[in-house]
């Protein structure tokens, strides 16, 4: 049976996005990474949606902070990464790489790098990828708990998904990411054009997330560490892509 997803963006805190989604056929309603509870419960109430699941990608407070309050208010089931079960408040269903979780048939990817237990939920049929703080529009998460090899492997696995997947990341960081990206690939015309459209969108107060995975493949320097343009830009032609990725990540960390 073919299923679909209705997906709603809920902006919270200074730059977080919580994703609320409903599977019309089953009536299941999921929340991805609720930083806080109040605005999520209010949005669900407004739509008369009953939250049945929380899907966590990783343990950071701005991704799990609303777990317990939403659970108390709705009795929903909390799903999260098995390898981080001790750090996910209220976790009841533990999932790991390759698992298929019966909420719109989510496929779980174990993608360490930003944190050691980070996972993503990919809905292939609905072309939706919830990747937490791993891929951002034109960027990627900070490498808090992983190695460059782990992070690069994680990014490469997500990059292998189809171009028309929408990337539902957890932060609106696109404009500052763009400012950095153009300093890496100075002759990537698609990147220059994307930066201009991001600036226009932000000037109008519009969100730039979700993006298309295809455009990330063409313009996001962190997904391009094995390509000549990025390697040349950082003076590492022919080097191990994980090391090239690490160099780009380091440059972003110190970029002002």
What residues make contact with Zn ion under the rule CB under 5 A? Answer: 60, 133
Catalytic residue among 33, 59, 84, 114: 114
38-47 helix and 67-74 helix, angle to the nearest 10 degrees: 40
In the residue annotation, 114 being an active-site residue is answered as yes
In the residue annotation, 84 being an active-site residue is answered as no
Catalytic residue among 33, 53, 59, 63: 63
**Minimum distance, C-beta of residue 57 to Zn ion, in the bound complex (Å):** 8
In the residue annotation, 250 being an active-site residue is answered as no
In the residue annotation, 63 being an active-site residue is answered as yes
**Euclidean distance between CA atoms 90 and 23, whole angstroms:** 23
User: For residue 63, what are its two tokens?
Assistant: 């991704």
Closer residue to Zn ion (CB): 133 or 216? 133
Contacts of 82 (CB under 8 A, 6+ apart): 94, 95, 96, 117
In the residue annotation, 53 being an active-site residue is answered as no
**Euclidean distance between CA atoms 191 and 219, whole angstroms:** 5
**Minimum distance, C-beta of residue 232 to Zn ion, in the bound complex (Å):** 31
CB 184 within 8 A of CB 234: yes
**Euclidean distance between CA atoms 183 and 221, whole angstroms:** 10
In the residue annotation, 58 being an active-site residue is answered as yes
Closer residue to Zn ion (CB): 65 or 241? 65
**Minimum distance, C-beta of residue 112 to Zn ion, in the bound complex (Å):** 12
In the residue annotation, 59 being an active-site residue is answered as no
Closer residue to Zn ion (CB): 107 or 133? 133
Torsion region of 122: left, alpha or beta (phi above 0 gives left; psi -120 to 50 gives alpha): beta
Closer residue to Zn ion (CB): 22 or 83? 83
Return the SS3 of 113.
coil
Closest residue by Cα to residue 19 from 171, 134, 135, 154: 171
**Minimum distance, C-beta of residue 163 to Zn ion, in the bound complex (Å):** 26
**Minimum distance, C-beta of residue 226 to Zn ion, in the bound complex (Å):** 25
Closer residue to Zn ion (CB): 84 or 133? 133
User: For residue 168, what are its two tokens?
Assistant: 């539902």
Burial class (CB in 10 A: 0-12, 13-18, 19+), 201: middle
**Euclidean distance between CA atoms 98 and 136, whole angstroms:** 22
Closer residue to Zn ion (CB): 7 or 140? 140
Catalytic residue among 53, 58, 59, 118: 58
**Minimum distance, C-beta of residue 252 to Zn ion, in the bound complex (Å):** 15
The total number of residues shown for the chain amounts to 256
Catalytic residues, by residue number, are 58, 60, 62-63, 114, 133, 171
């Amino acid at each position: 049976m073919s299923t679909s997803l209705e997906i709603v963006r809920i902006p919270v805190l200074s730059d977080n996005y919580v994703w609320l989604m409903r599977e019309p056929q089953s009536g299941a309603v999921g929340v991805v990474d609720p930083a806080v509870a109040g605005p999520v419960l209010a949005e669900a109430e407004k739509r008369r949606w009953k939250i049945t699941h929380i899907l966590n990608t990783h343990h950071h407070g701005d991704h799990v902070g609303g777990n317990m309050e939403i659970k108390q208010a709705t009795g929903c089931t909390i799903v999260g990464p098995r390898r981080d079960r001790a750090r996910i408040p209220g976790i009841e269903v533990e999932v790991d790489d390759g698992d298929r979780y019966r909420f719109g048939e989510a496929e779980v990817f174990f993608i360490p790098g930003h944190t050691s237990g980070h996972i993503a939920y990919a809905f292939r049929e609905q072309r939706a990828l919830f990747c937490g703080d791993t891929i951002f529009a034109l960027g990627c998460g900070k490498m808090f708990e992983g190695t460059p090899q782990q992070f690069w492997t994680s990014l490469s696995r997500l990059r292998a998904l189809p171009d028309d997947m929408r990337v539902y990341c957890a932060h609106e960081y696109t404009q500052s990411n763009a400012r950095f990206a153009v300093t890496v690939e100075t002759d990537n015309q698609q990147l220059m054009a994307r930066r201009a459209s991001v600036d226009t969108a932000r000037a109008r107060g519009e969100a730039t997330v979700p993006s298309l995975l295809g455009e990330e493949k063409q313009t996001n320097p962190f997904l391009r560490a094995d390509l000549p343009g990025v390697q040349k830009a950082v003076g590492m032609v022919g080097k191990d892509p994980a090391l090239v990725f690490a160099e780009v990540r380091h440059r972003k960390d110190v970029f002002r």
